[in-house]
């Protein structure tokens, strides 16, 4: 589990295709590499990946074909910036919200408006994913815990708006995004559980 509070910005230093996926090499930047060990989980742009080897601040991650099919990992290139967060521990403050690192789907940045003190982003996602996004609710975008300010259903899609303060832009890679870019989306896990509970109740009543 993670919190959605980014601890460091890293960078992809190498990509090696393998028959069942790819091997990813990430410069972990200022992430406390002395506390990272092989077998630890790190959220890389919101995707929970396991460190298979650590060499001089470079983490190696094996990415399965299933992960590539669900996420945007296959589109990453050497030099791309990554949001990094180590796994949640009992000693770590929960400053954002509970994030599993299991990406629910992808969205597209519809628009970006930059102001003097804040930046506003609007993201477009499929309707079956957007139903879990609520006004003032939590959503993780590329691993960053954010709050949706406005949600609009538009046919088969849903648009939701976010406000990003300068601190968030400086600590994450979100400031480098432009309209048309793809992003990882993980909805609030509590919304998933609530949907499952309601579905189960309806099935029980029908039977």
DSSP-assigned letters across all residues of 83-132: EEEEPP-TTS---S--B-S---EEEEEEEEEE-SS-EEEEEEEEHHHHTT
Q: 7-40 pLDDT, tens per residue?
A: 999 999 999 999 999 999 999 988 876 678 899 9
CA distance 111 to 178: 7
User: Which domains are assigned to the chain?
Assistant: 8-86 (2.40.30.20), 105-197 (2.40.30.20)
pTM to 2 decimal places:
0.92
- The residue among 180 and 88 whose pLDDT is bigger is 180
Residues 121, 148 contacting (CB under 8 angstroms) = no
Residues 140, 133 contacting (CB under 8 angstroms) = no
pLDDT above 90: residue 197: no
Question: What is the SS3 assignment for 37?
Answer: coil
Q: Which single residue is written with the structure tokens 């589109």?
A: 75
- Beta strand 144-154 with 157-164 is antiparallel
- The residue among 107 and 203 whose pLDDT is bigger is 107
- The residue among 90 and 84 whose pLDDT is bigger is 84
DSSP-derived letter for residue 33 is G
pLDDT of amino acid 93: 81
């Amino acid at each position: 589990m993670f919190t959605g509070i980014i601890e460091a910005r890293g960078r992809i230093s190498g990509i090696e295709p393998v028959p069942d996926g790819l091997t990813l090499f990430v410069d972990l930047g200022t992430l406390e590499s002395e506390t990272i060990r092989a077998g630890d989980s790190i959220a890389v742009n919101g995707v929970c990946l396991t460190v298979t080897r650590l060499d001089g601040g470079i983490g190696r991650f094996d990415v399965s074909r299933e992960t590539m099919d669900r996420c945007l990992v296959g589109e990453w290139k050497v030099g791309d910036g990554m949001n990094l967060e180590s796994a949640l521990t009992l000693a770590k403050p929960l400053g954002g919200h509970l994030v599993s690192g299991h990406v629910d789907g992808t969205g597209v940045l519809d628009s970006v408006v930059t102001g003097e003190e804040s930046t506003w982003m609007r993201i477009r996602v499929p309707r079956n994913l957007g139903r879990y996004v609520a006004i003032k609710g939590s959503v993780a975008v590329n691993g960053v815990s954010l709050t949706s300010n406005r949600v609009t259903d538009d046919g088969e899609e849903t648009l939701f708006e976010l406000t990003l303060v300068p601190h968030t832009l400086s600590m994450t890679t979100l400031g480098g995004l432009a309209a048309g870019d793809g992003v990882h989306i993980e909805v609030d896990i509590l919304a998933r559980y609530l949907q499952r509970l309601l579905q189960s109740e309806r099935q029980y009543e029908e039977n």
